[in-house]
A = this chain, B = another copy of it.
Amino acid sequence: MTYAAQPIDGTSDDRAETSRGRPGGHTWRPMPRSRTYTYVIDQVDEHIVSGALRVGDRLPPEREFATLLGVGRGAVREAIRVLEAYGVVRTDPGPEGGTTLTSMPSEALTQVLRLHIGLANFPMADVIEARAMLERWSARLAARHGSADDLAAIEHELLQMENGRSDREAFNEHDTAFHVAIARASNNRLVADMTTALRDSIRSLVLESFHGHADWPALAEQLCADHRRVFEAIASGDESAAADAVEEHIRSAYATLGWGRA
């Protein structure tokens, strides 16, 4: 494949129009356009990893930042969109606004995982295994560290499931929230975020399975009993029982939904 020369600053709208292969002729191979916005991200990355940029700091205004880095404003804008999607910056509009370094890793992890699970870039068996591992750990830590508030939050979601079985969508929301509440009770933000991202990223697949299941009342019954067993082990502080209960629940739920290896 050959490429004609094209702008590299990432701002031109006419890439497709100016890129012409010339069969047999000599062609220039331009720097891939993606490099420019990647350069901006790498610059921010370096400043973060070296400690020069911290949460709460601001990036320079777009025009100034572009001048500082010697790139087009389009490249700066694209880089900021990526950093926004990563949960690393927040952009506020208006005269008081700007681009601030922030702390929202969970949303970014969730979106990345949901898209890749959707693309089947991770086999479902791997997802089940990873959930079993992460949630064993979360449940164990929740049994060890969970405060009274943490336990109340977990139990709240359990009661919502037990008392509202007819609405499968609401049931799935409370089911997700139950697992997220356990992860939050683990007192480890990274484990909690990974657990949350993983449970959240299969939310719509789970709902689909709920709708497709032949005997919803029996499934809801099983899920409520499983969840109660997990909650009670955590509440009693029994780490091993909590870990085993949640792993058993995850494996049997997937088997019932027909997702398992076996």
Contact = CB atoms under 8 A, between A and B. Distances in A.
B19 A93 contact: yes
Interface residues of A, number: 78
Query: Chain A at the B interface: mostly helix, strand, loop or mixed?
Result: helix
Interface stretch (A77-85, A217-225, A252-260): A77-85
Q: Assembly of this chain: how many copies?
A: 2
Interface of A: 1-4, 6, 13, 15-16, 19-21, 30, 32-34, 37, 41, 45, 48-49, 51, 53-55, 61-63, 73-74, 77-79, 81-88, 91, 93-97, 101, 103, 105, 108-109, 111-116, 118-123, 126-127, 129-130, 133-134, 137, 188-191, 193-194, 204-205
A93 B6 contact: yes
Contact of A119 (B88, B96, B191): B88
B108 A88 contact: no
Contacts of A13: 73
Contacts of A129: 188, 190-191
Given A34-B91, A119-B54, A126 B188 contact: yes
9 contacts: A21-B94, A32-B91, A45-B111, A54-B119, A81-B81, A88-B116, A103-B119, A126-B190, A194-B194
